[in-house]
Amino acid sequence: MTPPAFLHPFAPPAATSYLSIVRGERSTVWDDQGRPYLDAMASLWYCNVGHGRQEVADAIAAQAATLAGYHCFAPFTNPPADVLSARIAAVAPVDDPRVALTCSGSESVDTAIKLARMAHERAGQPERDMIVSRSSGYHGVTYGGTSAQGIPPNREGFGPLVPGFVQVPHHDLAALEAVFAEHGPRIAAVITEPLQAAGGVFPAQPGYLAAVRALCDAHGAFLIADEVVCGFGRLGTWFGSEHLGLRPDMITFAKAVTSGYVPLGGVVVGKAVREPLEADATFLLRHGHTYSGHPLACAAALACLDLTESEDLMAAVPRIGGRLEAGLRALQHRGLLREVRGDGAVWGAVVPDGVQAAKVRDRLLTLGVIVRPINDVLAVCPPLVMTDAEVDQVLDAMGTALAEA
């Protein structure tokens, strides 16, 4: 068999068979054979408002019929981009923020890195160009994001990466302190996920994020919270930083801002970064994308923000997360899991030695449940509209598949 014309993302290029998903409704998606699956991964960590929401489809259709696209390079703007930026700025745990818009998480990470370096440059510190990241962090696949990546295989084989990146082991605060002690005046920013998701679901250890903030403050570096997964309700607050008591200088977001209905990402840019960029009225920031502020994507985001508020979806996080955690810990007590870790509505279930998480995922597909294997972890990150009965179905299926494994 020859592979299909579509060269898939994060897939073996030689793979010939795929599961074709054709429809979705709330927490369920259907394949082209009509088989339903409970989507315990909210697609790829993003579909917080659930699939098939008519409210979002209507907002997209109305915007498409009014103005589908128009660019936002100076001097242009459009109402959905302005309204969305103001709404995000109003809820972000960042001092006096503005919002840059992109089309993906990777673009958001690259934007934040470029803004960090440019802000220091404008402030008269061009030598401040180092970016510090943590192992197991996933920061996307553009060259900036790849250079910040904490997942070694994702960095390999792509030739020279961007210079100026340093990585520390993710739970090793002493290693980060040593990097600051050695390179403090050269550090532009630290980038970290508040909870590392795609690297295997690792919450930060108690006190770690506050210590990172303190180091950045002491040495004049910016703190970038990569909230591509944590943003827009996953941890029960608009941004995970708020839930964890963190005030970053920039926040990158994507995914759940539109629940994936239209691709959109962005960066919340705080005062410390903005000020040097805005200081000279003649300065032109030569960064941004053709589709930054795309009206259709922004209309989809506004509809998702409305649903998040009107249905109080963030209040569902303790219910869903609590039920998941309790159920996963019960599986652990039965000896079917080695470790359970997570926060809010994102959990990682570590399979016992000798069990292959990918095989468990395959068996779960036959039971009509979608989770994501990451090394020895099964990630669970459901839509925030998942019912208790559906959470129980996911847990029951995991119990069955793990017992067989």
Answer whether 350's CB lies under 8 Å from 338's CB. Answer: yes
- In the shown chain, the binding pattern of residues 171 to 190 toward ligand PLP, with x for contact by CB under 6 A and - for none, equals --------------------
Q: How many of the chain's residues bind ligand PLP (CB under 6 A)?
A: 14
Instruction: Specify the residue for token string 């109402």.
Output: 79
* Half-sphere exposure at residue 159, Cβ-oriented, CA atoms within 13 angstroms: 2
User: In this structure, what token pair is assigned to residue 6?
Assistant: 């579509």
- Does 193 engage in binding with ligand PLP (CB under 6 A)? yes
Residue of 140, 236, 295, 348 that binds ligand PLP (CB under 6 A): 140
Q: What is the dihedral of CA 313, 271, 247, 82, to 10 degrees?
A: 10
Q: Could you tell me the smallest distance in angstroms from the CB atom of residue 289 to ligand PLP?
A: 12
Q: What is the Cα–Cα distance from 140 to 160, expressed in whole angstroms?
A: 16
Nearer of residues 105 and 266 to ligand PLP, judged by Cβ: 105
Residue 75: cis peptide before it, omega within 30 degrees of 0: yes
Nearer of residues 200 and 295 to ligand PLP, judged by Cβ: 200
- In the shown chain, the binding pattern of residues 253 to 292 toward ligand PLP, with x for contact by CB under 6 A and - for none, equals -x--------------------------------------
- Does 344 engage in binding with ligand PLP (CB under 6 A)? no
Answer whether 35's CB lies under 8 Å from 291's CB. Answer: no
**Residue environment code for 342-362, b if the CB has 16+ CB neighbours within 10 A, otherwise e:** bbbbbbbbbbeeebebeebbe
State the DSSP code for 51.
B
- In the shown chain, the binding pattern of residues 101 to 120 toward ligand PLP, with x for contact by CB under 6 A and - for none, equals ---xxx--x-----------
- Does 226 engage in binding with ligand PLP (CB under 6 A)? yes
Considering only the stretches 52-60, 61-69, 137-145, 153-161, report the one whose residues sit in contact with ligand PLP under the rule CB under 6 A: 137-145
Nearer of residues 80 and 140 to ligand PLP, judged by Cβ: 140
Give residue number: closest CB to ligand PLP.
105
Nearer of residues 370 and 401 to ligand PLP, judged by Cβ: 370
Q: Is 391 exposed, middle or buried (0-12, 13-18, 19+ CB in 10 A)?
A: buried
Considering only the stretches 25-33, 59-67, 191-199, 343-351, report the one whose residues sit in contact with ligand PLP under the rule CB under 6 A: 191-199
Measured CA distances, 334 to 87, 375, 399 (Å): 46, 21, 9
Considering only the stretches 65-73, 128-136, 205-213, 224-232, report the one whose residues sit in contact with ligand PLP under the rule CB under 6 A: 224-232
Q: What is the Cα–Cα distance from 345 to 45, expressed in whole angstroms?
A: 10
Residues 6+ apart with CB under 8 A from 284: none
- In the shown chain, the binding pattern of residues 4 to 43 toward ligand PLP, with x for contact by CB under 6 A and - for none, equals ----------------------------------------
Q: What is the Cα–Cα distance from 233 to 231, expressed in whole angstroms?
A: 6
- In the shown chain, the binding pattern of residues 59 to 98 toward ligand PLP, with x for contact by CB under 6 A and - for none, equals ----------------------------------------
Q: Could you tell me the smallest distance in angstroms from the CB atom of residue 372 to ligand PLP?
A: 11
Beta strands in 184-298 (DSSP E): 187-192, 195-196, 202-203, 222-226, 250-253, 265-269
Considering only the stretches 133-141, 201-209, 303-311, 319-327, report the one whose residues sit in contact with ligand PLP under the rule CB under 6 A: 133-141
Nearer of residues 120 and 139 to ligand PLP, judged by Cβ: 139
- Does 144 engage in binding with ligand PLP (CB under 6 A)? no
User: In this structure, what token pair is assigned to residue 384?
Assistant: 């925030």
- Does 138 engage in binding with ligand PLP (CB under 6 A)? yes
Three-class SS state of 63: helix
- The residues of the shown chain that bind ligand PLP, judged by CB under 6 A, are 104-106, 109, 138-140, 193, 197-198, 226, 228-229, 254
